[in-house]
Amino acid sequence: MTESTFGLVIFDCDGVLVDSEPIANRVFAEMLGELGLHTSIEDMYANFVGHPMTYCMQLVEQRLGRAPPVDFEARLQERTFAAFESEGLKAMSGVIEALDQIEIPACVASSGELDKMKFTLGLTGLLPRFRDRLFSVTQVKRGKPAPDIYLYAAARMGVRPEKCVVVEDSPIGAQAGVAAGISVLGFCAHTPAEKLIAVGVQRTFAEMRELPSILAEGGGR
């Protein structure tokens, strides 16, 4: 099979295009600790990563037994963005080279808000590649693992789901792609491959530079 098997590549953002997960989860865990809710990084990856912020805040309230301060989410974003800047947020290793070789259309569909995507993609120099092709779960009714965001992105890009391929790093996001009837490639730089395979991902890869050749092979179909 050739790359023409697909008509669209849909990228998740955090942990796929930008190496934001280690920074964002550390800041989130630190702020939860300040509320008295001590959370490990492993727990953050297992229970928060891939979910929209509305879900994460509901989980925090459930675990705390009370609502977090009304300004918690705003302060979390402020501190996270500051950490991205001060620590020099970077694109995922190999992603620029991969994008240079991928000739079919591409877009981004994330659990993050549009402002966050624009900020992180801007810091890493990737925004011009996706400027008018960014889609957020805030634009659909249900967040991941529901398929809504991926179906929405495919529709907006004018490509049938069965002609799309999703690149995801979280089990929650991978579930969303599978539920949408879209081929899913599991990027396992930070996620154990077996966790992605367990939710229906047929092909995993750990180096972004592998992506163009995987697409050319038909994505494991």
Look up residue 171 and give its two tokens. 């089990």
> Which domains are assigned to the chain?
3-19+90-216 (3.40.50.1000), 21-86 (1.10.150.240)
Question: What mean pLDDT, rounded, does the chain reach?
Answer: 93
Question: How much is the average pLDDT of 196-214?
Answer: 94
Whether cis (ω within 30° of 0) applies to the bond prior to 145 is yes
**Six token digits for residue 107:** 């877009």
Q: Tens digit of pLDDT for each residue in 68-95? A: 999 999 999 999 999 999 999 999 999 9
Backbone angles phi, psi at 122, to 5 degrees: -65, -45
Q: What is the DSSP letter of 107?
A: E
Residue 2 has pLDDT above 50, yes or no: no
Would residue 43 show up in a list of annotated catalytic residues for this protein? no
Task: Write out pLDDT tens, residues 121-142.
Answer: 999 999 999 989 999 999 999 9
Give which of 9, 210, 216 is closest to 129, Cα–Cα.
Answer: 9
Gap between the Cα atoms of 214 and 103, Å rounded = 13
The answer to whether the predicted template modeling score (pTM) of the entire model surpasses 0.95 is: no
For residue 147, give every residue at least 6 positions away whose Cβ sits within 8 Å of its Cβ, in sequence order, or none: 176, 177, 179, 180, 181
Confidence of residue 50 (pLDDT cuts 50, 70, 90): confident
AA letter at 126 = L
Q: Do the Cβ atoms of 32 and 38 come closer than 8 Å?
A: yes
**Cβ proximity of 41 and 23 under 8 Å:** no
Using CA atoms, how far apart are residues 146 and 105, in angstroms rounded to an integer?
24
| Distance of alpha carbon 98 from alpha carbon 72, whole angstroms | 37
**Distance from first CA to last CA of the chain, Å, rounded?**
9
- Say whether pLDDT at 221 is over 70: no
Q: Decide if 172 contacts 49 (C-beta within 8 A).
A: yes
- Mean pLDDT, to the nearest integer, of 39-55? 88
